[in-house]
């Protein structure tokens, strides 16, 4: 199999995510792509489901941009890890969270498995800091605050963690 040009792939992924174009998503992935992330309730199968999920993000963060945050990591020909972040203002509801009009920057690592013949994304998994995103949106309290200690106490972690 041909060696991966990690930087070119990273650029293509970032352009696709920022394009708000469902056809660009379909061109990037295989017809049976399997996608997972911490914000989806179940794995998403197929380009339409992935595009539907991205459309939620595009709607909630209309000014969102996606940026590379480090070098591409890859095994040479099949597995690629892309460090990136989303930045934007949360101006529309997202997954039951009303618009907060807050600016967020959510870091993540997008791990891709490429199809050997089509050179498209066959499997993808986003690892992102869901807690930090929730704090930035105001859904959860800042770490170390009275509110944080109250949430930890309710969860059973006790009040001593905040000291």
CATH fold label, 6-128:
Nuclear Transport Factor 2; Chain: A, (3.10.450)
Contact 121, 112 (CB under 8 A): yes
CA atoms within 13 A on the CB side of 85: 12
Contact 13, 110 (CB under 8 A): yes
Cβ neighbours of residue 115 under 8 Å, at least 6 residues apart? 30, 121, 122
Contact 83, 70 (CB under 8 A): yes
Supply the pLDDT for residue 145.
82
Supply the pLDDT for residue 1.
57
Q: Which candidate, 67, 28, 70, places its Cα nearest to that of 51?
A: 28
pTM, 2 dp: 0.83
- Structure tokens belonging to residue 56: 């939620």
Supply the pLDDT for residue 95.
86
Supply the pLDDT for residue 11.
94
Question: What does the pLDDT profile of the chain (163 residues) look like in tens digits?
Answer: 577 788 899 999 999 999 999 999 999 999 999 999 988 989 999 999 999 999 999 999 999 999 999 999 988 778 999 999 999 999 999 988 999 999 999 999 999 999 977 779 999 999 998 889 999 999 888 887 887 777 777 777 655 555 5
Supply the pLDDT for residue 158.
54
């Amino acid at each position: 199999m041909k060696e991966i040009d990690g930087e070119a792939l990273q650029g293509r992924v970032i352009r696709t995510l920022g394009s708000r174009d469902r056809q660009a998503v379909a061109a990037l992935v295989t017809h049976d792509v399997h996608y997972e992330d911490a914000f989806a309730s179940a794995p998403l199968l197929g380009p339409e489901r992935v595009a539907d999920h991205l459309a939620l993000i595009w709607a909630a963060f209309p000014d969102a941009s996606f940026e590379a945050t480090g070098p591409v990591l890859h095994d040479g020909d099949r597995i690629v890890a892309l460090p990136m972040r989303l930045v934007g203002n949360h101006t529309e509801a997202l997954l039951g969270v009303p618009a907060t009009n807050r600016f967020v920057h959510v870091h993540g690592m997008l791990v891709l498995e490429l199809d050997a013949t089509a050179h498209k994304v066959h499997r993808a998994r986003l690892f992102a800091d869901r807690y930090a995103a929730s704090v930035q949106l105001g859904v959860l309290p800042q770490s170390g605050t009275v509110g944080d200690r109250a949430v930890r106490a309710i969860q059973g972690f006790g009040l001593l963690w905040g000291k």
